[in-house]
Structure 1
């Protein structure tokens, strides 16, 4: 593009801004957009900060409560359990992602795997409902609508006022005219993204990576650029403002409301998964086959018993140098955990496949693309949640087996068997509270920025394809603009 054409583009953009500033509707829409984005950033940041402090206090209280327990039977402490909390990624103040639905803490106890809890909402998934007024929601859903209200009449207004022919006759090409209108809309995009960008940069002070911040901001810039191009294309194709606005409103509803729901529903159909009740029954059926770890006489442990007698070269479990009940508890926990992990892995694989199917719809909906990109880059995607579940499950297993080890080594078998005989026997079947200091400090970190950027490659390509196709369409229409 020549210098003369560039100056024309800038002049057209300035003229568009003058029109917007004279229009009360345009000024109002711009003000609403900026206020919504800024306020959502502030409110969400304050909320996330408060939640972070609350999580830290609860984790400290939970650990202290466990360690401060008096002398008890070690298996009582297995069932007493404790909590593990996950501190969200710094950028989650801008896009909480699926954390609002999956929760951020897990109760760890023996014989079972609990799901994450303390979620903000359990009413749906991130792809099936509008969600709360987070910065991500504002930019993903409301910003395109605000851009439509501002720019839908960019070219069609020139037609209706019969100034288009005059502009074209003065040597301004259709492509140059559209470029000027587009530059004005892109400047609005810049204003909308300013609070988001500043907030994202602040996360660098909380150990967030520059790559993650840049990827986040660039992703949203590409997304809003898609909408700018859609607005320019519609305004160029339709001869009347009413036609342009109607078409863009329909496209907004289709791409921002309908397609995300279609993506989620399609994923559930293509990759069906068992319901909770069905899964619970299947888990219980498999666990029953393993025997009752609380009953040393369960036939399921007969072979284990014989192997121990042979290993220690004794004739009865009373002669074992270790507590047989503790060994059975440990063996039972290991087998149960193996079964529970199999079901957990199946569930996570199904969830991941469903998510991947949903993400394919980014090729037909930029909304799906930016939601996927945003959650992945921020570190609030399904992959991060699954890693949290795996790490906390390993923490749970180590915690329970640590208590079982205390049961095996610190408690006499006969004392254990006679623990309910009387008060003195019950007291004798306890171990020192010093054994409760087996808790490990649990700290969960998001995946590296490089890993997150790699996962978001497909979403970036989807947005770039949208831009390339729309730019080609605008260039085609611009050359035939009348």
Structure 2
């Protein structure tokens, strides 16, 4: 048996004799199992609830009686964002962004009913998920188990004894890393089993799963190297423990909390009220379709009359009010899209600041990669919002065209007792409307979005490995 293996075996035996370490490892395993089961049950409950509400909303829309098409524009419909299978491992921003939207004409609503606004305040501080356990709790356990792997040998004088017995510096370090790495595997094993179980659900994809395994594996390997590095450089075990605890607090707790606040302060976002006021101001400046003297819509009216070769809207082969609805929705949607694009641009710059902070905190980089691979980051939420807006615009314009083609202008402007009945179209038209179908990103796309965060962790891993190589050369020197 090689010296490296013997040293690793002795280190593991020493850890096994530490009852506190064994109990802590068992508690972490139990916590991971509980987190996996609770997160899985929560995700399945949310998925079933949203699917049920989505079906009810579609059924309510389809069940509407004969109506005027413009009434259906304002009746609108609800849509709900479905969750992917890996959301049970890392729910990401889903609890904060909202999960349902009301789609109607002339408005671009935001997503509502996020879990944070409806649940305990504890949700704001992070849910108990396998991702959270591996990101925050597992490194802390590794620190308490491994802070003395080298420093303890130096304090006791056994490091020189090992070297006098023929063990090289590299063998000693590799043995310690092998032991601590074995513990890291034990720490990650329950979460890995949970991840594999979650990935067995319908809709799970292989590439995001591989990205998660790679990211979390590199993250725990990084902590193994950092713990060994601190223990090799510190003169005493106590010093190594203080250094590692301080580093964990900064990297895992402090920076992930400060970075988003710093990004918000550097690039402020307009709130909903400010945006609504700005949009209302621009809408007034844009024009009023009900004002015959409005420059834009007066020019629009002339262009329509010229196109059909008539002099009065009553002589048009289509309903002019429906054409007005089409033009008005085009203008307002373009305005909404402009403000939305500005908001997305500001959020992208905020995200760039947070990702830059990932260079100082591998926990931020891992969190970004984990949410991206699980399909629960803001990019996935943005994709849902964009698909929802595309569906809303198509639905509203289809109803506007129905008014233009299926309701005559004479009936639409009539005020006699029977006019309301003549303005209606068949309820069969609502059933023919296509339902909203969310198109989830492909597995390759999710894995690609996770790559920058994983690359940062690997860069940290490389740097820690180089520093550890330098520290290994100093093993046994008088300090």
TM-score, with structure 2 as normaliser: 0.93
Q: Which residue of 2 aligns with 1:320?
A: 316
Deviation at 1:282, TM superposition (A): 1.6
Q: Distance in 1 between matches of 2:247 and 2:129?
A: 23
Worse overlay, 271-280 or 256-265: 271-280
Deviation at 1:204, TM superposition (A): 4.4
Q: Which residue of 2 aligns with 1:278?
A: 274
Q: Which residue of 2 aligns with 1:96?
A: 91
Q: Distance in 2 between matches of 1:333 and 1:258?
A: 46
Work out the number of aligned pairs and report it: 470
Kept in 1, the 8 Å contact 2:39–2:88? The answer is yes
Show CA shifts across 1:256-304 (max 9, x none). Answer: 11111232233224434333332222211111223345x3646242111
Q: 2:412 aligns with which of 416, 431, 456?
A: 416
Worse overlay, 370-379 or 269-278: 269-278
Q: 1:309 aligns with which of 305, 308, 324?
A: 305
Q: Distance in 2 between matches of 1:223 and 1:445?
A: 31
Deviation at 1:122, TM superposition (A): 5.2
The DSSP-based 3-state class of the residue aligned with 2:358 is helix
Kept in 1, the 8 Å contact 2:85–2:201? The answer is no
The DSSP-based 3-state class of the residue aligned with 2:102 is strand
Q: Does structure 1 residue 431 correspond to structure 2 residue 428? A: no
Following TM superposition, the consecutive aligned residue runs of length 4 or more in structure 1 with deviations greater than 4 angstroms are: none
The Cα RMSD (Å) is: 2.0
Kept in 2, the 8 Å contact 1:86–1:443? The answer is no
Kept in 2, the 8 Å contact 1:74–1:430? The answer is yes
Q: Distance in 2 between matches of 1:282 and 1:291?
A: 15
Deviation at 1:345, TM superposition (A): 1.1
Kept in 2, the 8 Å contact 1:95–1:378? The answer is yes
Equivalences for 1:44-123 in 2 at 5 Å?
44-121=39-116
Deviation at 1:139, TM superposition (A): 0.7
Worse overlay, 139-148 or 80-89: 80-89
Deviation at 1:92, TM superposition (A): 1.3
Q: 1:464 aligns with which of 455, 458, 461?
A: 458
Equivalences for 1:12-411 in 2 at 5 Å?
12-121=7-116, 130-202=125-197, 203-293=199-289, 295=290, 297=292, 299=294, 300-411=296-407
Kept in 2, the 8 Å contact 1:352–1:383? The answer is no
Deviation at 1:97, TM superposition (A): 1.1
Show CA shifts across 1:141-187 (max 9, x none). Answer: 11111111211122222233332222222222333222222212211
Worse overlay, 31-40 or 194-203: 194-203
Deviation at 1:244, TM superposition (A): 1.4
Q: Distance in 2 between matches of 1:432 and 1:134?
A: 50
Q: Distance in 2 between matches of 1:51 and 1:265?
A: 29
The DSSP-based 3-state class of the residue aligned with 1:149 is helix
Q: Does structure 1 residue 481 correspond to structure 2 residue 475? A: yes
Q: Distance in 2 between matches of 1:48 and 1:240?
A: 46
Kept in 2, the 8 Å contact 1:204–1:210? The answer is no
Q: 1:440 aligns with which of 422, 429, 434?
A: 434
Kept in 2, the 8 Å contact 1:410–1:431? The answer is yes
* Unaligned segments of structure 1, at least 5 residues: none
Kept in 1, the 8 Å contact 2:318–2:405? The answer is yes
Q: Distance in 2 between matches of 1:382 and 1:476?
A: 40
Deviation at 1:370, TM superposition (A): 0.3
Q: Distance in 2 between matches of 1:229 and 1:366?
A: 13
Kept in 2, the 8 Å contact 1:291–1:298? The answer is no
Show CA shifts across 1:202-255 (max 9, x none). Answer: 314523222221111111000111111111111112222221111111101100
The DSSP-based 3-state class of the residue aligned with 2:101 is strand
Deviation at 1:64, TM superposition (A): 0.4
Q: Distance in 1 between matches of 2:85 and 2:46?
A: 13
Q: Distance in 1 between matches of 2:69 and 2:124?
A: 46
Q: Distance in 1 between matches of 2:64 and 2:291?
A: 27
Deviation at 1:456, TM superposition (A): 2.6
Deviation at 1:46, TM superposition (A): 1.0
Kept in 2, the 8 Å contact 1:327–1:404? The answer is yes
Q: Distance in 1 between matches of 2:426 and 2:306?
A: 31
